[in-house]
């Protein structure tokens, strides 16, 4: 893939989620990757995989339905600072494309706790042709569902 195409396929996203719970409870759910992964709408076949998690995300981006199979792993974490970096790698073999993401998490405050999510996403192959605006809109929808599930999961603990 040439540089121009790779640059077009890069999407930077930022989201904030407020959870009315102690920081320690929010952190515990986020660092339990199988539990956190199940909060992402459209995920299935979620299973622990070494220090990370493996699963499939079914998502529609515009007219295209994707089945992204892959892994998420914690690259680094600092519980005292409330920061972590996750790496996600997934591909859809049907249409020929992949997604690679670095996701920085920052947890601040305490009841309410604010979660900041900054993602640098490379969208490769045919998936990258869908366009940044469509991808960003779908990411917003997925994150809204994740936030709702995160709040419920933290409250249940």
CATH of the domain at 127: 3.30.530.20
Pair of tokens at residue 9: 């396929």
Give the rounded distance of the alpha carbon of 107 from its chain centre.
Answer: 15
Rounded (10°) CA dihedral 56, 59, 64, 70: -30
Chain segment 92-148, per-residue pLDDT in tens: 999 889 999 999 999 999 999 999 999 999 999 888 888 888 889 999 999 999 999
Domain count, the chain: 1
Per DSSP, the three-state class of 8 is helix
Q: What are 28-51's pLDDT values in tens digits?
A: 999 999 999 999 999 999 999 998
Q: Is the pLDDT of residue 7 over 70?
A: no
What's the pTM value of the predicted model, to 2 decimals? 0.91
Q: Judge contact between 120 and 102, C-beta under 8 A.
A: yes
Sheet holding 113-125, edge to edge: 10-19, 113-125, 97-109, 83-92, 64-78, 52-61, 43-49
């Amino acid at each position: 893939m040439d540089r121009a195409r790779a640059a077009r396929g890069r999407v930077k996203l930022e989201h904030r989620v407020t959870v009315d719970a102690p920081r320690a409870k929010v952190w515990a759910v986020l660092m339990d990757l199988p539990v956190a992964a199940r909060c992402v709408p459209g995920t299935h076949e979620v299973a622990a995989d070494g220090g990370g998690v493996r699963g499939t995300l079914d998502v529609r981006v515009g007219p295209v339905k994707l089945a992204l199979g892959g892994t998420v792993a914690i690259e680094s974490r600092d519980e005292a600072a409330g920061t972590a970096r996750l790496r996600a790698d997934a591909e859809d073999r049907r249409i020929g494309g992949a997604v690679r993401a670095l996701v920085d998490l920052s947890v601040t405050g305490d009841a309410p706790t604010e979660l900041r999510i900054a993602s640098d996403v490379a969208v490769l192959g045919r998936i990258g042709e869908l366009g940044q605006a469509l991808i960003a809109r779908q990411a917003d929808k997925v994150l809204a569902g994740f936030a709702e599930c995160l709040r419920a999961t933290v409250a249940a603990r």
